[in-house]
Every structure is written in C-alpha cells, then in structure tokens.
Amino acid sequence: MPPSAAHRARRDALRALLADPGEVDALLVTDLVNVRYLTGFTGSNACLLVASDGRDVFCTDGRYTLQAAAEAPDLPAVIDRAGARTLVTTAAGRGVGRLGFESDAVTVDAHSELVDELARAGGSTALHRAPGLVQRLREVKDADEVATLRRACAVADEAFADLVAADGVRPGRTERDVALDLEARMRALGATAPAFESIVAAGANAAIPHHRPSGAPLRRGDLVTLDFGALVEGYHSDMTRTVVLGPAAAWQRELYALVAAAQVAGCAALRPGADVVAVDAAARDVVVAAGEGENFPHGLGHGVGLRIHEAPGLGPAGSGTLAAGMTVTVEPGVYLEGRGGVRIEDTLLVTGGTAEALSRTTRELLEL
C-alpha cells in the first residue's frame, strides 16, 4: 500500500473510534509519535486535527513546509508555529462540539492555553479528554509496519553476528567499548540510530537488569548480557543475548537453561485472546518453580513499534489481551547479586498460530 494510502487508512480507523458512544467529534493529535503514525511526517513540530467528517488538517511551522509536502502530501497543511492553538481555532470555526485532546500527552499549561484559545474563538466547542485512542490502533501492526520491524530486527541480528565474528566480545574490552562497537555496526548496516541506549553488562554487573555500560573490563569467566536494538524508519527492534567468556561454569549453564525454559514457555503462550497476565505467568511460573522467583524482578515483556516500550505490557500488573498483529518482546531474566545474571529476549509477532520470532539470532548459550 502506498504510504499516503496507509496513513489515510489509519486515520479512517481512528475516525471509527471517534464515532463510538461517549467519544468525540474530532481529535487534536499532538503526540509526535501519533502524528507520525497517522501522517508519515517525521519533523519535530506538528499536530493534526482528525475530524469525524473526514476534513483532516495538518499543521507545522515554516521550517518544515517542504518536508510536510513530501511526507504528508495527502493532507491540507497549515503553516503556523502556534500549531495546536491554530487547530483548536479551526475546530471552533467548524462548529465542532466535543473536541478530544490527548490528555496523556498535553501538559497542564498547554491545556490552559487551549482553553483560553477556545474562549477567544467563541462558539460552543469544548475540550474533552481522549487519551490512548491512537495507541489502541498502534498496538496491532499493519503489513508495512511488520515489514519495517523485520528489517530493524535483521539489522540487530547481523550487527551482533558481526561483532561476535570479529571477536568484539572478549576479555580486556570494556563494556562501553563493546556497546559503542555494536551500535556502530548497526548504523553501518542501515539503522538510523540504536533503538535505545545499549546495555552491556559483564560479570557482577549482569545482575543489574538496566546496567549502563561502564569502563569495567570484561574478564574470562564472565557472563555478559547485551540488550540492544536498531531504529529503522522510526521502528525499534529489541533483543537480549547473554554469553559467557570462555567455558561456562556449571552454575552458569543451569541459570541459562532456566531462563531459556522460561522464555520458551512465554513464547508458547503468545496467541490471540491470551491475557497478558497469563502470558507473564507462563514464563514466571517456570522461574518460581526453580526457587528463583524473587530474582525475576521485572515484567516478561512489552509491545514494541514506533516506541521501544508501548502497549501491551506483559506483566503481573498488565491488563488486556493479545491480538494477531501485535509485536511484543519476551524477555525473562534471573539475576544473582554479586555473581551475574541471564536475560534472553526476542521481538515476536503474534499470529493466528505459533508466534513468529522476528529476531533470528540463536538462543543457545554462546561460549566465546
């Protein structure tokens, strides 16, 4: 589907949500990620009025006149730095009654400015909270999004393979050296940037789930956890592999086998209609049965797409069910303070049958 047609289809799907009872007559979209999803525009200042009657309007400032014409050619564009206030005035001029706004993204001060703008415009338009409408659509990826996520995962896979082949994870290198090397390889393979700040955690640091790479050197016998991803055309991949430098000790093999078994159970539970809490439990129960439940301190995974963390969340406090077309991570981990830890993570596509792993790197323990 041509990009403009795909974005128009997304706006039409949003329009259907606006028509639900208790919803709104138009939605002011100010979250830039949501604007990109609905229009294709990638600049740093933009907003969008999505109207139930189909008369959508896009607004950005003068820096992006040409970019807006190229990236969102199917939308009438207003060039005005005032952005959201301008579109609120447009809505009032059209007699929109209930104007939704993204209350999960609009600050208190920005809301006050919009209220003042409506007062100046006159008429009967009123602002109504409408959080999460676009995010609901973003949970299920269309074919174009899945294709882009495949490319993002492939870039991360290839970069990791190249790093290992070049002996880039070896004793004497620092965590920071390895992280920078891995990120450079992803860029060289076509990534816009890393999907997030890469994690490289060696030895005792591998027991810290979100350790930031430091000047600590890698040592023979260390478990080394690498959590990384590639950003490709705005979409994020997310993968974690834990390796050992040299032959693995018995306790390291046992720990790795436990986490691998938990991940297999979590992946097997991914199916349309599955409750996200139950998916988490499928993996967590494996860890708990081994007596390591207290050492698995985070949720099993999360949605991934235009943001590295998005709905649905797979965890004990999550809510909702899975649907075909969702892309999620499954990333159990067990962390032993002072000794090290293991996390194994893949990005997967929920399908009508067995979930498809978009990350293809082997899940076997690598002894480097």
Edge-to-edge strand list for the sheet holding 193-194: 193-194, 230-232, 235-236
Locate all alpha helices (DSSP H) within 242-292, ordered by sequence: 250-268, 276-289
What are the tens digits of pLDDT across the range 163-181?
A: 999 999 999 999 999 999 9
Contact 237, 191 (CB under 8 A): no
Q: What is the structure's pLDDT at 21?
A: 65
Q: How far apart (Å, rounded) are the C-alpha atoms in residues 69 and 95? A: 28
- Cα 351 to Cα 30, 75, 194, 275, 317: the distances in Å are 31, 33, 27, 15, 24
pLDDT score for 364: 97
pTM as predicted:
0.95
> Could you report how far apart the first and last alpha carbons of the chain are, in Å?
44
* Cis, bond preceding 131 (omega within 30 deg of 0): no
Task: Quickly count: other Cβ atoms within 10 Å of residue 172's Cβ.
Answer: 10
- Dihedral angle, C-alpha 114, 117, 118, 121, nearest 10 °: -160
Q: 145 in helix, strand or coil?
A: helix
Question: pLDDT per residue over 300-345, tens digit each?
Answer: 999 999 999 999 999 999 999 999 999 999 999 999 999 999 999 9
For the chain, list the strands marked E by DSSP: 26-29, 46-51, 57-60, 77-79, 98-101, 126-129, 193-194, 199-202, 223-228, 230-232, 235-236, 239-244, 301-303, 310-314, 327-330, 333-336, 340-343, 346-349, 356-357, 366-367
Residues of the chain with pLDDT below 70 are 1, 21
Residue 123 is predicted with a pLDDT of 82
